[in-house]
């Protein structure tokens, strides 16, 4: 017997938190990027889309004061399971409506979080509020997904990928991904299917959800950030921090400083 669940708000389910952590819970390849550009002295950092705390916890352990926000309460509940004195503070909050009265020396948005803001007004709101909340010399650190040339060339046809994860009890999680660009738009459509095949006496589960992300190219991100009062200090094309090369890299790591001018 298999239970089939389709949802466009999968992040509201505790099951998704476990699936997310199975894939990314121990992923720290992006941590050197943040360490390289964060102030060396202890300071306060805001993390947008903190998830279950994979980035905020190690940074807090290094002496930074972390505040992480996310819309997923199951994710936040998982993040708060940390008895350390240096544990970050977490809050349920929309990154397009940042309700803070303090400022931050750095704001970070890891692992393609900003790509989720598919409406131009939401992206502008997030960036303009981030500009307002940063200190005079504050820095914005982003990881952004850039669709590759091959995906764009498919012109709406879907590309298939899959991963298999083995669980300690012998169960398996099969993740299938269908990805395509939406013609005459800046969007990428992604359908993710999780097939949970348990070995114990419990029914298998199939989870499926479809969502959209921004598929801007590097030049467009430059224009968007400049319009909101940021200038790019560094752009990398991967976790080895090699310089970003358009048409070659799909991972864009950006360090952007707050400009003197106000956002448009």
pLDDT of residue 199: 86
Are 97 and 37 within 8 A, CB to CB?
A: no
The model's confidence at residue 238, banded by pLDDT at 50, 70 and 90, is: very high
The model's confidence at residue 42, banded by pLDDT at 50, 70 and 90, is: confident
pTM above 0.95, yes or no: no
The model's confidence at residue 2, banded by pLDDT at 50, 70 and 90, is: low
pLDDT of residue 86: 77
pLDDT of residue 188: 98
Residue 62, pLDDT above cutoff 90: yes
In eight-state DSSP terms, residue 40 is S
| CA–CA distance, 86 with 17 (Å, rounded to integer) | 23
The model's confidence at residue 177, banded by pLDDT at 50, 70 and 90, is: very high
Among the ranges given (139-148, 190-199, 236-245), the one the predictor scored with the smallest mean pLDDT = 190-199
| CA–CA distance, 261 with 251 (Å, rounded to integer) | 28
Give the residue among 22, 48, 26, 72 at the shortest CA–CA distance from 194. Answer: 22
Spatial CB neighbours of 103, under 8 Å, sequence gap ≥ 6:
44, 133, 134, 135, 138
The model's confidence at residue 11, banded by pLDDT at 50, 70 and 90, is: low
Residue 61, pLDDT above cutoff 60: yes
- Average pLDDT across the chain, whole number: 92
Are 150 and 179 within 8 A, CB to CB?
A: no
Residue 7, pLDDT above cutoff 70: no
For residue 233, CA distances in Å to 59, 114, 257 come to 22, 18, 7
Show the beta-strand stretches assigned E in the chain. Answer: 2-6, 44-48, 65-70, 89-92, 104-109, 134-145, 159-166, 172-181, 187-197, 204-214, 230-236, 251-258
pLDDT of residue 263: 56
At 76-130, the pLDDT tens digits run 999 998 766 678 999 999 999 999 999 999 999 999 999 999 999 999 999 999 9
């Amino acid at each position: 017997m298999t239970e089939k669940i389709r949802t466009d708000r999968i992040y509201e389910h505790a099951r998704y938190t476990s699936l997310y952590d199975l894939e990314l819970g121990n992923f720290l390849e992006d941590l050197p990027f943040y360490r390289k550009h964060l102030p060396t002295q202890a300071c306060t950092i805001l993390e947008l889309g903190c998830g279950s705390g994979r980035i905020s916890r190690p940074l807090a352990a290094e002496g930074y004061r972390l505040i992480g926000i996310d819309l997923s309460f199951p994710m936040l509940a998982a993040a708060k399971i940390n008895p350390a004195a240096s544990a970050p503070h977490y809050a349920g909050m929309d990154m397009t409506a940042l309700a803070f009265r303090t400022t931050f020396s750095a704001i970070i948005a890891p692992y393609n979080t900003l790509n989720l803001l598919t409406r131009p007004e939401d992206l502008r709101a997030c960036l303009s509020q981030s500009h307002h909340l940063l200190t005079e010399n504050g820095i914005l650190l982003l990881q952004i997904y850039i669709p590759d040339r091959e995906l764009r060339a498919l012109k709406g046809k879907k590309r298939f990928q899959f991963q298999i994860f083995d669980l300690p009890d012998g169960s398996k999680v099969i993740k299938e991904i269908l990805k395509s660009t939406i013609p005459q738009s800046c969007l990428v459509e992604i359908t993710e299917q999780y097939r949970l095949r348990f070995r114990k006496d419990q029914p298998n589960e199939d989870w499926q959800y479809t969502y959209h992300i921004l598929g801007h190219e590097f030049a467009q991100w430059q224009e968007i950030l400049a319009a909101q009062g940021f200038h790019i200090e560094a752009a990398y094309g991967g976790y080895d921090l090699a310089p970003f090369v358009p048409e070659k890299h799909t991972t864009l790591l950006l360090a952007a400083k707050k400009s003197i001018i106000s956002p448009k």
